[in-house]
């Protein structure tokens, strides 16, 4: 039983589909319910339908992860309907338009702090609720999504700071969850061909070459890694660590949906700070 937050489109959608392909029941959350409500395509219902089509069971739930009451209601529903939760994927995040635009932090609006609200804080709130289900059942996995930006400047000050926080939060939660056999990890995903990223690269000077980069992966690639982690009987040996998805893929024998082996960019962009606890 899986929950993927922020899965109307992008990486969240790809993860939900990849897990659905493994037969998982996937709760899909997001704010976009009706087509046309967002500038980019995708709704929670469409993602849930894709999960069904891939062999899983998709359950769409409209949730604003900045609203604690809505999040509490979501987890209460999961507990009532399923009685358990095996995997929480903390993917929901606000990505302000200005974040990927030229300019220094003082030249951008203070409202860009929303990446911490719908990102770091939202991830903590979801993990808080998930732990209340996972700890009593003595099993479960919480995954935070981060990237090389955790140690390597990318886009903006606020982006790197938020993603570094995701890594550290996953590590410290692991220390407290480990006695209860619940795992917590942070995963570094490289460039991903999401709807927004593809559009951004068409307009941001000097970055269009990444559209054809061999290091780029599909939005489903991290979902394949997560399925392997969820099935790993020795997952507790990894708890607290920050891992590069490309390296985990090599460990588990996973390729992208087109059969490509995604390269690790450890040498070029940096290594994770946190090891398993």
Buried b / exposed e over 131-161, threshold 16 CB at 10 Å, is bebbbeeebbbbbbbbbbbbbeebebebbbe
State the Cα torsion 42-129-131-117 to the nearest 10°.
70
- What pLDDT digit, counting tens, does each position of 232-255 carry? 999 999 999 999 999 999 999 999
Compute the average pLDDT of residues 258-275. Answer: 96
Pull the structure tokens for residue 226: 């997560």
Q: Which residues contact 202 (CB under 8 A, 6 or more apart)?
A: 208, 211
pTM: 0.93
Pull the structure tokens for residue 277: 């606890």
- What pLDDT digit, counting tens, does each position of 163-180 carry? 999 999 999 999 999 999
Per the CB < 8 A criterion, the answer to whether 184 and 239 are in contact is yes
Q: Please state, rounded to an integer, the average pLDDT across all residues of the chain.
A: 93
pLDDT surpassing 60 at residue 210: no
Per the CB < 8 A criterion, the answer to whether 251 and 235 are in contact is no
User: At 101, is the pLDDT very low, low, confident or very high (cuts 50, 70, 90)?
Assistant: confident
- What pLDDT digit, counting tens, does each position of 118-137 carry? 999 999 999 999 999 999 99
Domains and CATH numbers, the chain: 2-269 (3.40.50.720)
Buried b / exposed e over 169-204, threshold 16 CB at 10 Å, is bbbebbeebbeeebbbbbbbbbbbbbbbbeebbeee
- What pLDDT digit, counting tens, does each position of 188-206 carry? 999 898 766 656 555 555 5
């Amino acid at each position: 039983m899986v929950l993927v937050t922020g899965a109307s489109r992008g990486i969240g959608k790809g993860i939900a589909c990849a897990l659905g392909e493994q037969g998982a029941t996937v709760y899909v959350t997001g704010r976009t319910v009706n087509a046309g409500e967002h500038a980019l395509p995708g709704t929670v219902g469409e993602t849930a339908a894709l999960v069904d089509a891939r062999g899983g069971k998709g359950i769409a739930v409209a949730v604003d992860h900045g609203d604690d009451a809505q999040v509490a209601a979501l987890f209460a529903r999961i507990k009532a309907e399923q009685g358990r939760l095996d995997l929480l994927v903390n993917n929901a995040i606000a990505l302000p338009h200005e974040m990927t635009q030229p300019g220094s932090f003082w030249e951008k609006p203070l409202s860009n702090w929303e990446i911490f609200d719908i990102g770091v804080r939202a991830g903590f709130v979801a993990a808080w609720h998930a732990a209340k289900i996972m700890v009593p059942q003595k099993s479960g996995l919480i995954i935070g999504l981060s990237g090389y930006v955790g140690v390597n400047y990318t886009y903006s000050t606020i982006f790197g700071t938020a993603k570094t926080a995701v890594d550290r939060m996953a590590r410290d939660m692991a220390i407290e969850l480990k006695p209860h056999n619940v795992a917590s990890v942070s995963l570094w995903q490289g460039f991903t061909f999401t709807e927004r990223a593809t559009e951004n690269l068409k307009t941001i000077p000097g970055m269009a070459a990444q559209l054809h980069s061999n290091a780029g992966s599909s939005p489903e690639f991290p979902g394949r890694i997560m399925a392997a982690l969820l099935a790993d009987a020795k997952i507790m040996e990894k708890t607290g660590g920050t891992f590069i998805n490309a390296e985990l893929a090599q460990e588990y024998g996973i390729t992208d949906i087109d059969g490509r082996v995604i390269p690790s960019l450890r040498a070029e962009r940096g290594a994770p700070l946190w090891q398993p606890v």
